[in-house]
Structure 1
């Protein structure tokens, strides 16, 4: 469930290359991906970490503290859709440089539409697990999560609002650069 070290290194490079100072993470788990992002943020940078599970955030908080990035992370303990909607209502559209999503797969499309509004032109939205252990290529795999990821991949490929790339790193990483 945690991103791999090679994916973490790639994300760190990407965030640094973007010269990001504001980022969003949907789905925190142990905080490893948060650390990869937060350590790459520019001076004064902040990562908004969304997770409805206080237990997961407690684990992540200890890891963030050990990594020395606790001061760069703002936690939101509620469903991410609510947090993202609050940001949009507060006039935060176009104010973020990077967003990473590794949460409930059936929610990816909803997160995408909200994040596309929050990310600035040239900013990147990244989705984890878009190869879904190879199941997206298996016509016999018809469970709801696999179908949701297939739908997302097809939608992103055709969406003219972004430049899209799917990297076969780890379990698949979709990169969406907002035009």
Structure 2
């Protein structure tokens, strides 16, 4: 078996010092002021750790611009960091369908969205996501019309979301899933994982295994933030 070199050691790659270097060198200096303000506001939330990491957000913004995305969907909004980032990255006439049952968290980010002048791009739907996705699929005209989708929601439903989103995004469109490393617990024995993280760890493991075998898309599993799985629909 090949030895793992220092350059590929995940412990080294994800060290706090290296992450700090990446953030301070190329992420924070390019972060929009409204995104920075929203990130700071989210840090005061008891569940602030749920916000999209800014380095993962930077990658998403690049993908959106490479795709020239105009029509996107977001499953799981929280305070809206990734939503605002998407709205800033798509054209003036772009549209985002954003779905989350927690409007109270969304309203934390709403002043920053308004300040950035991008509220007109957002159709926020206060609801669990599956009924919304099913309603979209009830109309065949919606199939294959979205350029990009981002999922940061309940991990036990990731595969259910995938089965719907893979039909809603166009051929060559992208679906990105956040938290697919689940705090690094996917690489740990279950016995050393805290009880509170075990259920969604199992869900994440099941999802990662299933999606790795899905022939309908190409995949890149990126060790950024808490793990970002990027899927490009090919059929």
User: TM above 0.5, one fold?
Assistant: yes
Which of the pair has the greater relative contact order for Cα pairs under 8 Å at 6+ separation? 1
Point out the structure with the larger helix share. 2
For the residue of structure 2 that corresponds to 1:165, the secondary structure is: strand
The answer to whether the aligner puts 1:65 opposite 2:94 as a matched pair is no
For the residue of structure 2 that corresponds to 1:59, the secondary structure is: helix
CA contact (8 A) 1:30 1:63 kept: no
CA contact (8 A) 1:30 1:56 kept: yes
2:102 is aligned, of 53, 77, 82, to 53
Unmatched 5+ residue regions in structure 1?
none
Residue aligning to 1:39: 88
C-alpha deviation, 1:148, in angstroms: 0.7
Q: TM-score, normalised by structure 2?
A: 0.74
Distance in structure 2 (CA, Å) of the matches to 1:131 and 1:54: 27
C-alpha deviation, 1:139, in angstroms: 2.2
Question: Following TM superposition, where does structure 1 have runs of at least 4 consecutive aligned residues deviating by more than 4 angstroms?
Answer: none
Residue aligning to 2:207: 152
C-alpha deviation, 1:43, in angstroms: 4.2
RMSD over aligned Cα atoms: 1.2
Q: TM-score, normalised by structure 1?
A: 0.96
1:10 is aligned, of 51, 54, 59, to 59
Number of aligned residue pairs: give it. Answer: 179
**In terms of Rg, which structure is larger?**
2
Point out the structure with the larger strand share. 1
CA contact (8 A) 1:51 1:79 kept: yes
